[in-house]
Amino acid sequence: MEERYWQKEIETAPREQIEAWQSERLIDTVKRVYENVPYYRDMMDKAGVKPEDIKSRDDIVKLPFTCKQDLRDTYPYGLFAVPLKDVVRLHASSGTTGKQIVVGYTKHDLEIWDDCTARQLVATGADENSVVHVSYGYGLFTGGLGLHGGAQHIGATTVPVSSGNTQRQLTIMQDFGSTVLCCTPSYAMFLAETAEKQGIPKENFKLKAGIFGAEPWTEEMRHEIEKRLGLEAFDVYGLTEIIGPGVSYGCHAHDGMHVNEDHFIIEIINPETGEPVKEGEQGEIVFSCITKEAFPILRYRTRDIGYVKYEKCSCGRTFARMSKPMGRTDDMLIIRGVNVFPSQIETVLIKMGYLPNYQIIVDTKDNLDTLAVKVEMGEQHFDDVVKEINRRESELAGELKSLLGVNAKVILCAPNSIERSEGKAKRVVDNRKK
Ligand code: ADP
Ligand code: ZN
C-alpha cells in the first residue's frame, strides 16, 4: 500500500532540517517565556541561565526541568505565556494522579494540534472518505476534541460520539459505517467483547483502523483487538501538559510512535540524576513545546518510561520514534523490592491465553507487600471444576514468578466480574497508600 502523509515535506524532512527547526524555535520560545512568564524567569534566574545562553537545540540541557508540581503551584493560569483574551480553549487533565491541572490554547495552538492528530489519522490510511468515530471522552479531557480536530481537518466525516453507552456506540458504528475508531484500548476491547456477546459479527462493521491510546497497553493486546474488531490498531500518545493526543503517532511499521518533532523536542533522562541517557536506553521521557503560544512548557518531566530512536522508519518518516511507554514512574509497583509495571503483568496474562480483564491488588501483611492478580476466565473455562481452576491459578502464578520475579496470588474469577472502563482502565488497587 502506498504510504500517505499529511504534511510530507515535514514528516519526511532530513534530520538536519528538523534540528534546524528545533534550534530556531527553541531559541524563540525560551525568549518568549522568559519575557512573559515570571515563574519561568525566576526558575531560569535561579538556574543561572539566560535566554542568550540557548544558541541551539543542544543547549536545552541548560534549562531547568518543569514538573507536575510547577503546574499545581501556578494553578490555574500562572504558566500561560499569552493574556487570557488570546486563549480560545482550556483543557484540564483527567486527574488520574492527584489534583487537576489546566492548560490553554490560542487559535494557532489549535491549528497545530489539528495537524498533529491529522498526521496520525492519515498515517493509518484515513482520508476524506473516512468516517471517524471518536469515542474518547469529550470535555476537559483532551482525547475527544483532540482526535475530533484532526478528523475534521483532513475532511473526514467526523462522528463525535464521546464515551459511554456501549450499546449506542455499536449501533452507530454499524449504521453510520464508521471506518476509524478512536478510543482507549481498554474500551476498544470492551466494545469487541460486547459485540461478540450480542452475536454481532465483525463483518457488520466497516472498521479499517483504530487509534488507541491515553493509557498503557501491550503489543499483545494490540493484536487481540485487531483480531476481534477486524481492523489495524495504531498506538497514539499524548498528554494534556504538552498538547493532548498526537504528541507522537503510530504508523504501519508499528515500531514506536513518531514524535511531532517540528513542534516538540523529546529527551530521555535518567530519572534519578536528570542526565540524558544514550540513544535507545530506557529512561523518563521529557518534552519541550517549541511552537505553542499559550502554554509552551519546557523540559516537562512526563514520568512516562520509554526510549527513543532516530533511525529512519520503513514508512519513510524521519521523525524520531519513541517506544510505547511501559507506564509512568508513579504506576510502577515496588513489590518487596521488585519493580513491576502493570503492563508486564498484562503481557503474561495475554500470553497465557487470558483477556486483559484484570485487576492488580497490592496490600501489606505482617509488614510485607502482597500482590494479588484477579483475572477473568473466558466463558470456555468457567465450567471447569475447582481442581482445574486451581491448576490454572498456580500455572499463572508460576509464569508471573518466572517472568517478573515476584510472588503473586492469582485469583481466577467469573467472566464480566471486573468492572469495565469507558475511558482509562483502572488496573491497580494499592491498599498500601493510605
Ligand atoms: P491524566 O494525567 O489525568 O491521566 P492525560 O490524558 O494527560 O491525563 O494522560 C496522559 C498520560 O497517559 C501520559 O503521560 C501517559 O502516561 C498515558 N498515555 C497516553 N498515551 C499513551 C500510550 N499510547 N501508551 C501508554 N500510555 C499512554
Ligand atoms: Zn513509521
Mind listing the pLDDT tens digit for each residue in 155-211? 999 999 999 999 999 999 999 999 999 999 999 999 999 999 999 999 999 999 999
pTM exceeding 0.95? no
Q: How far is the CA of 429 from the centre of ligand 1 (A)?
A: 18
- Give distance in angstroms: CA of 375 to centre of ligand 2: 34
Same domain, 266 and 413: no
CA distances to 60, 142, 338 from 110, in Å: 25, 12, 42
Tell me, what CATH number does 11's domain have?
3.40.50.12780
Are 341 and 324 found together in one domain? no
pLDDT (average), residues 252-264: 98
Contact 106, 85 (CB under 8 A): no
Check pLDDT > 90 for residue 310. yes
| Calpha distance 177→91 (Å, rounded) | 30
Alpha carbon nearest to ligand 1 atom 9, residue: 239
**What confidence score (pLDDT) does residue 94 get?**
62
Average pLDDT over residues 281-303: 97
Cβ 98 under 6 angstroms from ligand 1? no
Residue 326: pLDDT band by 50, 70, 90 thresholds?
A: confident
Residues within 5 Å of ion ligand 2, judged at the Cβ atom: 251, 253, 313, 315, 317
What does the mean pLDDT of the chain come to?
A: 95
* 95 pLDDT more than 70: no
Whole-number Å distance, alpha carbon 215 to ligand 1 midpoint, is 5
Do residue 63 and residue 158 come from a single domain? yes
Q: Which amino acid is at 314?
A: S
Residue 433 confidence (pLDDT) = 67
**Pair (338, 254) in one structural domain:** no
What letters, b where the CB count within 10 A reaches 16 and e where it falls short, cover 371-389?
bebbbbbeeebeeeeeeee
Contact 15, 316 (CB under 8 A): no
Question: Are 279 and 251 a contacting pair, CB within 8 Å?
Answer: no
Domain containing 339 — which CATH number? Answer: 3.30.300.30
User: Measured in angstroms, how far is the CA atom of residue 392 from the centroid of ligand 1?
Assistant: 33
What total of structural domains would you count in the chain? 2
Q: Decide whether any atom of ligand 1 lies within 6 Å of the 60 Cβ.
A: no
Ligand nearest to the CA of 284: 1
CB-ligand 1 contact for 91 (6 Å cutoff): no
Which of 329, 345, 377 lies at the terminal end of a domain, its last residue? 329
Same domain, 305 and 359: no
Q: With a 6 A CB cut-off, is 144 part of the ligand 1 pocket?
A: no
pLDDT score of 303 more than 60: yes
* Pocket test residue of 215, 220, 305, 343 for ligand 1, highest count of atoms within 8 A of CB: 215
Q: Are residues 279 and 337 in the same domain?
A: no
Mean per-residue pLDDT for 45-49?
Answer: 98
* CA-to-CA separations, 431 to 106, 360, 364, 370, 371, in angstroms, rounded: 42, 11, 8, 10, 10
Q: Given the CA of residue 325, which atom of ligand 1 is nearest to it?
A: 25
With a 6 Å cutoff on the Cβ, whether 324 touches ligand 1 is: yes
Ligand 1 pocket test target in 68, 141, 239 with most atoms within 8 Å of CB? 239
Which of 265, 296, 329 is where one domain is finished? 329
Instruction: List the residue whose alpha carbon is closest to atom 13 of ligand 1.
Output: 239
Ligand nearest to the CA of 141: 1
**Ligand number, closest to the Cα atom of 123:** 2
Which residue, by CA, sits nearest to atom 24 of ligand 1? 216
Provide the residue range defining the domain that includes 91.
1-329
Q: Is residue 434 predicted with pLDDT exceeding 60?
A: no
113 with 164, same domain: the answer is yes
Cell 507506564 found at: 327
Indicate the residue among 279, 313, 329 that finishes a domain. 329
Judge whether residue 382 has pLDDT over 60: yes
